[in-house]
A and B are shown apart, each in its own frame.
Chain A
Amino acid sequence: MDNWTVLLVDDEKEFASTLAERLNLRGLRVQTAYSGEEAIETMARNPVQVVVLDLMMPGMSGLAVLETLRKNYPDSRIILLTGMGSVSDGVKGMKMGAFDYLMKPVEIDSLMQTIREAMGKPS
């Protein structure tokens, strides 16, 4: 498992790629996936320690992806990104074993902080 790469899952390509570039600038290796299905494929090819997962996606929903990943890669840490007004989804995600959840739009520094925590604490 790649401990130092982050997988960023979001259906908004512009958002995902920009955020990936910003995290890159801060010294992280970032892979992007633009749908839930793609995220699962990518993980199958190259499992990573930390996944940043948007909950609101067309097709396979964030919670479904979370469930699959938790089952297949129990060691991965999954950080959820939720839109505003869907606290309950975030809470549900936490109950399903997500590492943390952050509200969009998220401050880059707090995201970095959370990712570092996720990487730092070995399971």
Chain B
Amino acid sequence: MEFIGKLVSYLGQLVGNPEDIEGPKRYDVIRRNISILMLLITVVPLVSMALINYSQYQSTLRREIMEPMKVLVNKAKNSLELLLTNRFAILRFVATAYSYNELADENNLKRIFRALRKEFDGFIDLGLIDSKGIQISYAGPYNLRGQDYSGQPWFQQVQVNGAYVSDVFLGFRKIPHIAIAVQHIDESGAPPWIVRATVDTKRFDQIISSMGIQPECDAFVMNKEGVLQTESKLYGKVFDRPPGIMPPMTYEPFVTERVDPRGNHVVTAYAYSNRSDFVLMFVKPTASVMRAWYTLKSELIFVFVIGVLLIVSAVLKLTSVMVNRMKISDERRELAFREMQHSHKLSSIGRLAAGVAHEINNPMAIVNEKAGLMRDLIERNADFPQKDKFLGLIKAIVQAVDRCRTITHRLLGFARRMDVEMESLSVNDVLKETAGFLEKEALHRNIELTMNLALDLPRIFSDRGQLQQVILNVLNNAIAAVSDGGSIAVTTWDHDADYVGISIQDDGVGMSEETMKHIFEPFFTTKKGTGTGLGLSITYGIVKKLGGDIAVQSKLGKGTRFIIYLPKRAEKGGEASNG
């Protein structure tokens, strides 16, 4: 558990929140880390599952396929041994049933041979050899009587073992066959004699074909020296000695996978015969053995690859969406915070300004009254000395008071912007005033600012400060949108009985339908990096608060037109509506 906890915290650190990286790179790092982490925790278990499944399937399937091969080769070996046992039994019967003298009579032997051939397949010849190795009598295609075998290895062997099976050799009519011999020891104490027969190997081929093997497989018999005793499809003809295919000696049938001398991957099942020097081999190309497995494997791999691709694309997509959301929400939070700070600052300044203005106003009122009283007194006294001079001084004082009044008025005006205060005002004047703020920038960038103001525009009842802000925002946008030397036209008109209209038209970059849809949404901005995305939403809010409406028309590359409708009378929410 502790380990898991550590792992999780480490992974957490890995994803982390790289506070020390600034700007958009930070989100790239987060995106990369989350992607890597998510890929790790999804793909690693998948891969390990796939690998475990793979190996288990493989071993199971392999067993399922190899076991029948072993059984088959064992059965074939048993048939082969049965055949040999059977042939030995026949020879033993001949040796036991007849006496030496009977067999030594060639006519007798030929009769026995004919009977044998009639009853049993494959007998080529039959002969009697005495204890000194001399062929006493012979029935068969050659004339071998008198042949001396005493020097031959098989003769030695049959004397030691009592029986002998030769390797395959080409004999009569070039048919491959084997020689078998048994020694008969007479109870009468006469010297032992040997019955020898030659049998063709057709029965070997029959045994092999009875295995019913598929065309691409191969089954054959070899002797212990690795010489082929039957024909092999893969490794050559009888008596060929293909190198390197001889399996190690085992007493049980055995299945093994290996690469044969011709470079093929094969599965070999083999069985050593206990009674003879033969080895029965069954060779199957691995490809055919494992065909079912390969099919399954390719399906597995297909599913795995598709799965991994899906996971990767889903992870990347998800991460991207997630990080983008994160980025946007970070930005929004930051902007909202900045905006709040800003408005907080403004409102404190406003309150301070209002306080200062009030405090100064009172003494100024006193100064004003004192000066007024002085003027009253001087004016009422006809022979006041230096009357004109004093009246001039008083006038200067009153003028100075007026200047102060202008200053405090401005300060209060600034403060007043915080709440709606309705007053009767001329929209044209407000427009001219506000445009004045931006004249410098317009001049600097050579922007032509035209005013088509309706002379007969009625005064409306609205909030001057808020209206100024609305116009300032829209004009600012227009100035940002036009290129140097562009033009902006401000038009006013008496729209209908209730509303006046203001249009601010620029020939700037314009905007797409999509942008237009979001233009009044908070935090939507096209001024990447610098815009707060609040200007137009605040504008919208103010216009609505003033009981008006704002609309936008735009075409990409052609320019934008903002139209603002303001009510002539403050019906909605005006504090002073009834004055």
Residues of A bordering B, CB below 8 Å: 12, 14-15, 18-19, 21-22, 25-26, 56, 83-85, 87-88, 91, 94-95, 104-105, 108
Q: How many residues of B contact A (CB 8 A)?
A: 30
Q: With A88-B421, A88-B575, A108-B372 as known contacts, state yes or no: A83 contacts B380, CB within 8 Å.
A: no
Which residues of chain B are near A25, meaning CB under 8 Å? 373, 376-377, 380
Taking a contact as CB atoms under 8 Å apart, the answer to whether A18 and B373 are in contact is yes
What 0/1 readout, one digit per residue, does chain B (404-415) give for beta carbons within 8 Å of chain A? 010011001101
Binds A, one of B235-243, B305-313, B361-369, B564-572: B361-369
Counting chain B CB atoms within 10 Å of each CB, which of A56, A84, A94 scores highest? A84
Q: With A83-B358, A91-B579, A95-B578 as known contacts, state yes or no: A22 contacts B372, CB within 8 Å.
A: yes
A105 to B377, CA, bound (A): 19
Q: List 7 other contacts, CB 8 Å, given A22-B372, A84-B357, A85-B412.
A: A12-B366, A15-B362, A25-B380, A83-B358, A87-B423, A94-B579, A108-B376
Q: Which of B354, B357, B380, B576 contacts A88 (CB 8 A)?
A: B576
Q: With A18-B366, A22-B372, A88-B421 as known contacts, state yes or no: A83 contacts B579, CB within 8 Å.
A: no
Which residues of chain A are near B408, meaning CB under 8 Å? 84
- A selection of 7 A-B contacts at a CB cut-off of 8 Å is A12-B366, A18-B366, A18-B373, A21-B373, A85-B413, A85-B416, A108-B376
Judged by DSSP, the binding face of B is: helix
Which residues of chain A are near B366, meaning CB under 8 Å? 12, 14-15, 18
B401 at interface by CB-CB < 8 Å: yes
A15 to B370, CA, bound (A): 8
Q: Which of B364, B412, B423 contacts A105 (CB 8 A)?
A: B364
B577 to chain A, nearest CB (A): 9
Taking a contact as CB atoms under 8 Å apart, the answer to whether A104 and B365 are in contact is yes
Q: Which of A19, A56, A87 contacts B358 (CB 8 A)?
A: A56
Q: Which of B369, B370, B415 contacts A85 (CB 8 A)?
A: B415
Taking a contact as CB atoms under 8 Å apart, the answer to whether A18 and B361 are in contact is no
Which residues of chain B are near A14, meaning CB under 8 Å? 366, 369-370
What 0/1 readout, one digit per residue, does chain B (386-427) give for beta carbons within 8 Å of chain A? 000000000000000100010011001101100001010000
Counting chain B CB atoms within 10 Å of each CB, which of A18, A22, A91, A108 scores highest? A18
In this complex, what residue of B is CB-closest to A18? B369
B245 to chain A, nearest CB (A): 112
Taking a contact as CB atoms under 8 Å apart, the answer to whether B421 and A105 are in contact is no
A60 to B354, CA, bound (A): 21
Which residues of chain B are near A56, meaning CB under 8 Å? 358
Which residues of chain B are near A12, meaning CB under 8 Å? 362, 365-366
